């Protein structure tokens, strides 16, 4: 194939993202309606929908079952092997909507004004839909590839990642890649609806649950004994809340603050620049300013928040024990064991136990430079000239943490331009994405995949 013919093919293909967005919308409608709420997951429902589309396109795939009714789907387009594979992956389970007062049916995509609303449209069935449609387009276009392009839909990301864990334990070769893209980061819309920056997630905090248990002497509640387990637990939790972990800047956070400062109001921008430029002790005034913005404050330190409390057996009996769960999000250069020791020292009560929950995966950062980030910068500049690509730290956790230790440069890059307020709707009421974002996301990822994989 001549270079001129290849260029014409690419130009023609990337000019029809709007047309293919209709197929992505139809697929998204089906995926949302499948209701893969986790628990129990039922990801097999989504996998069957994806497999039907792949069958129609003549793309080979493999389905694996990691639990009854719970499946992963992996499809691959072969390249010539001159470069290592590119992995596009999504999870197809969603967080439950029960008890949330939605204004529309959560498991039905509904167009509300300029938005598509429904559970999973942003987290992350929408991205899964455009990745699958992109694979079909690559097959139909006939563009030669220098690397395999792998599509993976996995399950259970919202409850620990059992799907990808199974896949890596039993079929690690199916996800072996040089570069991967999944949720996190992405184009950020300002108040005027313009893309102001593109976040590229290169690292994430370590997810760790910690159980705090206090014990006391049981007996009749009419005779207080002075060692009430619930009271003792309350004191421990109050100490933890009153003594946050010290703020620290990782290289990725320093770069993120320096880049984002250009788009913030003067007071916040000045604080970001002061922190990014600091060496040694962080400026206290700048820390106080950032702490007024919770999403920024969380980037600066390890956090442990109380999420569940249990204690007591009857209204008229002294509790023998009381227990709380702390949900910790640990900076990636720290360890859960160090956090456990710090919590025990803060509580300063040897009768209160601090126990780590299961290890849920930990990883170092992906490279800030190289083929993946370089391609993101180039393509982003073509679509949104002058808009910076800023490396970011994810405060939550996604399945990239299982890939990075295996040598995959895993990046979070949501293809949909979202405002901060829309992004915060994930897991919450009336989750939504802009209605035109499917076409934008397809065009963005088409260009990105061509930059990385076209021969």
Q: Label residues 17-53 b or e (16+ Cβ within 10 Å = b).
A: beebbebbbebbbbbbebbbbbeebbbbbbbebbbeb
How many Å separate Cα 54 from the centre of its chain? 26
Compute the average pLDDT of residues 432-438: 96
Question: Which fold would CATH assign to domain 3-183+414-453?
Answer: Aminopeptidase (3.40.630)
* Mean pLDDT, rounded, of the chain: 94
Domain borders along the chain are 3-183+414-453, 206-356
**Which residues are CB-contacts of 340 (< 8 A; sequence separation ≥ 6)?**
210, 354, 355, 356
Per cent of the chain over pLDDT 70 is: 96
- Given CATH 3.30.70.360, say whether it is the number of domain 206-356: yes
What token pair was written down for 373?
Answer: 């980030």
Q: Determine the pLDDT at residue 13.
A: 46
What band does 3 get if pLDDT is binned at 50, 70 and 90? very low
**Residue 376 confidence class, pLDDT cut points 50, 70, 90:** very high
Same fold, 3-183+414-453 and 206-356: no
- Of all residues in the chain, what percent carry a pLDDT higher than 90? 90
- More confident of the two residues 11 and 27: 27
Average pLDDT estimate for 339-364: 93
Band of the pLDDT at 16, cuts 50, 70, 90?
A: low
pTM: 0.87
User: In 3D, which of 95, 89, 88 has the Cα closest to residue 41?
Assistant: 95
Question: Bigger pLDDT: 4 or 402?
Answer: 402
Phi, psi of 449, rounded to the nearest 5 degrees = -65, -40
> What are the structure tokens assigned to 393, written together?
């730290």
**For the stretch 295-310, what's the b/e string if a residue is b when 16 or more beta carbons lie within 10 angstroms of its beta carbon?**
ebbbbbbbbbebeeee
Task: Please state, in angstroms and as integers, the Cα–Cα distance from residue 260 to each residue in 197, 266, 270, 273, 374, following that order.
Answer: 8, 12, 11, 9, 19
In the structure encoding, which two tokens stand for residue 255, read together? 């770069």
Q: Give per-residue pLDDT as tens, 31-58.
A: 999 999 999 999 999 999 999 999 999 9
pLDDT digits (tens, 9 = 90+) for 124-165: 999 999 999 999 999 999 999 999 999 999 999 999 899 999
């Amino acid at each position: 194939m001549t270079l001129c013919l290849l260029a014409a093919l690419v130009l023609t293909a990337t000019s029809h993202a709007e047309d293919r967005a209709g197929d992505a919308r139809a697929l998204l409608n089906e995926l949302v309606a499948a209701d893969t709420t986790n628990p129990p997951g039922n990801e097999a429902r989504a996998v069957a929908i994806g497999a039907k589309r792949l069958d129609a396109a003549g793309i080979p795939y493999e389905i694996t079952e990691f639990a009854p009714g719970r499946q992963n789907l992996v499809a691959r387009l072969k390249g010539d092997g001159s470069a290592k594979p590119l992995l596009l992956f999504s999870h197809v389970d969603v967080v439950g909507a029960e008890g949330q007062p939605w204004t529309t049916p959560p498991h039905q995509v509904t167009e509300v004004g300029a938005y598509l609303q429904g559970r999973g449209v942003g987290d992350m069935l929408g991205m899964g839909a455009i990745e699958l449609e992109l694979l079909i387009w690559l097959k139909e276009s006939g563009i030669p590839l220098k690397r395999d392009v792998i599509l993976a839909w996995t399950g259970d990301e919202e409850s620990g990642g059992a799907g990808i864990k199974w896949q890596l334990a039993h079929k690690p070769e199916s996800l072996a890649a040089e570069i991967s893209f999944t949720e996190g980061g992405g184009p950020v819309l300002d108040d005027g609806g313009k893309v102001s920056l593109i976040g590229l997630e290169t690292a994430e905090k370590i997810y760790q649950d910690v159980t705090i248990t206090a014990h006391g002497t049981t007996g009749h509640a009419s005779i207080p004994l002075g060692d009430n387990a619930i009271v003792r637990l309350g004191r421990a939790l109050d100490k933890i809340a009153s003594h946050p972990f010290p703020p620290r800047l990782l290289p990725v956070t320093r770069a993120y603050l320096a880049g984002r400062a250009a788009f913030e109001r003067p007071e916040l921008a000045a604080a970001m620049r002061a922190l990014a430029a600091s060496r040694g002790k962080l400026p206290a005034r700048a820390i106080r300013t950032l702490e007024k913005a919770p999403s920024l404050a969380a980037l600066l330190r390890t956090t442990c928040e109380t999420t569940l409390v249990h204690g007591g057996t009857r209204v008229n009996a002294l509790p023998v024990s009381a227990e709380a769960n702390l949900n910790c999000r640990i900076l990636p250069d720290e360890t859960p064991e160090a956090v456990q020791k710090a919590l025990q020292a803060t509580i300063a009560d040897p009768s209160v136990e601090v126990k780590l929950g299961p290890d849920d995966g930990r990883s170092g950062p992906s490279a800030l430079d190289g083929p993946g980030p370089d391609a993101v910068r180039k393509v982003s500049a073509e679509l949104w000239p002058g808009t910076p690509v800023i490396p970011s730290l994810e405060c939550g956790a996604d399945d990239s943490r299982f890939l990075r230790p295996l040598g995959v440069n895993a990046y979070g890059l949501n293809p949909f331009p979202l405002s901060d307020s829309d992004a915060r709707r994930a897991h919450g009421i009336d989750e939504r994405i802009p209605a035109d974002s499917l076409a934008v996301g397809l065009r963005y990822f088409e260009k990105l995949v061509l930059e990385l994989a076209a021969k």
